[in-house]
Amino acid sequence: MVRAGLTAERLVRAGAELADEVGFEQVTVSALARRFDVKVASLYSHLKNSQELKTGIALLALEELADRAADALAGRAGKDALQAFANVYRDYAQEHPGRYEAARFRLDPEAAAASAGGRHAQMTRAILRGYDLTEPDQTHAVRLLGSVFHGYVSLESAGGFSHSAPDSQESWTRILDALDALLRNWPTP
């Protein structure tokens, strides 16, 4: 018998909350069953396995990030858009560390194609059009921005900047200024 109120969507959302509390790697169907005080078997009518749960959390995180980024970018261009976009990722990682980690989960090609990942790429490329970059430089710049944002956020969330001056926010601002300058003066081969 299916427990009243349990749906795949509710389980994924609860899994996302659990990921923020204990870390994405610790999220399993068993851990979720304990959260709802039900037997693991009762969740298998909604989810196949932990892989499906983690995929659902990843898709949710990508969607939430894309929605926030779209809202932040509305009406912005150039450096203002770059900063807004970067701050969405940093803020999301601070507010939802497990979900942010989930957004980096490797999806199968079908799930990836149906995910909000494409929206992220489109928004990044829209920002870069403001810097007048063409291919292949635009692709190089997309990879650069993703690497810098994710690298900084990952180091910061691990406490890598908490033991020294200057303040992490000051470094973040300087890095975004440097990225803006680089994108405006993109080197040609």
Interval 87-127: pLDDT, tens: 999 999 999 999 999 999 999 999 999 999 999 999 999 99
Mean pLDDT value across residues 155-166: 90
Instruction: Give me the half-sphere count of Cα atoms (radius 13 Å) on the Cβ side of residue 168.
Output: 14
How open is the CA angle 46-49-53, to the nearest 5 degrees?
A: 70
More confident residue, 48 or 85: 85
The pTM of this model reads 0.91
Interval 54-81: pLDDT, tens: 999 999 999 999 999 999 999 999 999 9
Lowest mean pLDDT among 7-16, 19-28, 29-38, 40-49: 40-49
Q: According to the model, what pLDDT value does residue 125 have?
A: 93
Within 27-167, residue ranges assigned H as helices are 29-36, 40-43, 50-73, 78-95, 97-102, 109-114, 117-129, 137-157
How many whole angstroms separate alpha carbon 114 and alpha carbon 87?
25
pLDDT reading at 157 higher than 80: yes
